[in-house]
Amino acid sequence: MTQITLRRPDDWHLHLRDGDMLQAVAPETARHFGRAIIMPNLVPPVVTGAQASAYRDRILAALPEGSAFEPLMTLYLTEDTDPEDLARAHTDGLIKAVKLYPAGATTNSASGVKNFDKVRPVLEKMAEIGCPLCVHGEVVDDDVDIFDREAVFIDRILDPLRQATPGLRVVMEHITTAQGADYARSGGKDLGATITTHHLVINRNAILAGGIKPHYYCLPVAKREEHRLALRKAATSGEACYFLGTDSAPHLDGAKLAPCGCAGCFTATNTMSILAEVFEQDCALDELEAFASLNGPAFYGLPVNAESITLTKGDPVTYPDRIQTPNGDVTVFDPMMPLHWRVS
Ligand code: NCD
Ligand code: ZN
């Protein structure tokens, strides 16, 4: 196969940031993607419907002239979230999901949830109105090894939370383990999981072997090779519970390369070429559309995009190493392999 045509893909987990960074990265996603679920972990976070509405306007203003890209907004769940404000924003069609960060789990998560009992009324309201909860699934306990934090979260937090809130629709965001893939598969129609581009490509050796590579450091951190292979199997299976959420998370190089470097890989620019390469390697190009364009809308109850994109195989395609912003550069994720599929 040297050419494939897919419904235009969507990104079900994306960080666009704000200000100069938003201006720099929004066009990178809008080039190939129809829609994206926009993460609310700004500083301060997007917690109210009014804030989500204003942020949506700033995103639309940052898009290239004529772009039809549609930002799908989310609210950042805090222990003070007002269930009625949330329900209104959802009913009005302004927000498509709510994001749960355990406090301290990742970049800009300080306002996240510490005591899960405090958000019970909000979760019940979400179950009632059918608003999905996007979960950053890692415990933050000091006694839990960082490589075990996802698997422990499933047992200690996620499974009890789902059992206590029947009907709550949950997306396990950016799963990184075989346990995550298995749990998502076993969860029925109310459970889905996003998988990033980079977790299909790198294992933890990419970060740590042969010198430390800050540009491969993200959260949840990449795990052992057996987990990467489990994610590849899940993504390329075409199964409805798995869909693309790039978690493209731009940070200035200065912040990535600091003594305490930020977590996040920036994959917005080259994701579709990388995914085509990965799916081809696994003899699963015919499942790429399910993963990138069909399963996500089905989970969120949205129509698939009307337009299509075509990927053509040829000589290696190159992407810029860096995206420029007025405050410094953002390094584009290096997949450490030649890419042959270009989006035409
Ligand atoms: C994300 C970010 O930078 O906002 N970082 C990351 O490593 N993925 C936050 C997140 O999704 O965990
Ligand atoms: Zn993220």
Rounded distance from Cα 109 to ligand 1 centre (Å): 9
Residue nearest to atom 6 of ligand 1 (CA): 264
User: Measured from the CA of 196, which atom of ligand 1 is nearest?
Assistant: 8
Question: How many angstroms separate the CA atoms of 262 and 279, rounded?
Answer: 29
Count CB atoms within 10 A of the CB of residue 257: 13
Q: Strand 95-100's sheet: what is its strand order?
A: 11-14, 35-38, 70-76, 95-100, 133-135, 170-172, 191-195, 242-244
124's CB contacts (< 8 A; 6+ apart) are 83, 165
Mean pLDDT by 10 residues, the chain (344 residues): 96 98 98 98 96 98 97 97 97 98 88 92 97 97 96 97 97 98 97 99 98 98 98 98 98 98 98 98 98 98 98 97 98 98 96
- Residue 140 CA to ligand 2 center (angstroms) comes to 16
3-343: which CATH topology?
TIM Barrel (3.20.20)
Q: Quote the pLDDT of residue 67.
A: 98
pTM, two decimals, is 0.98
For residue 196 and ligand 1, the question of a CB distance below 6 A is answered with no
Q: Which atom of ligand 1 is nearest to the CA of 251?
A: 3
Report strand pairing: 341-343 vs 70-76: unpaired
Ligand 1 pocket test: which of 14, 99, 106 has the largest number of ligand atoms within 8 Å of its C-beta?
106
pLDDT value for 82? 95
d(CA 290, CA 234): 12
Mutation to probe ligand 1, out of 76, 219, 252, 331 (largest number of atoms < 8 A from CB)? 219
- Pairwise CA distance, residues 106 & 239, whole Å: 28
Q: 125 C-alpha to center of ligand 2: Å?
A: 24
Is there an atom of ligand 1 within 6 Å of 263 CB?
yes
Enumerate the domain spans of the chain: 3-343
pLDDT at 154: 98
Rounded to whole angstroms, the Cα distance separating 239 from 243 reads: 9
Q: Is 106 in the pocket of ligand 1 (CB under 6 A)?
A: yes
pLDDT of residue 107: 83
Look up 247 and say whether it is catalytic.
Answer: yes
Question: In sequence order, which residues have a C-beta less than 8 Å from that of residue 93 and are 6 or more positions away?
Answer: none
Cα(15) to ligand 2 centroid in Å equals 6
Q: What are phi and psi of 40, to 5 degrees?
A: -100, 15
pLDDT of amino acid 137: 97
Q: Whose CA is nearest to atom 11 of ligand 1?
A: 247
Q: How far is the C-alpha of 230 from the C-alpha of 199, rounded, in Å?
A: 10
Ligand 1 atom closest to Cα of 105? 12
The best mutation among 247, 253, 260 to test binding of ligand 1, ranked by most ligand atoms within 8 Å of the C-beta, falls on 247
Residue from 13, 6, 7 nearest 195 by CA = 13
Q: Are 28 and 269 in contact (CB under 8 A)?
A: yes
| Spacing, Cα 282 to ligand 1 middle (Å) | 27
Q: How far is the CA of 219 from the centre of ligand 1 (A)?
A: 6
CB of 25 sitting under 6 A from ligand 1? no
> Which is the catalytic residue, given 80, 85, 247, 253?
247
Mark 116-133 as b/e (b = at least 16 C-beta within 10 Å): eeebeebbbbbbeeebbb
Model pLDDT, residue 110: 86
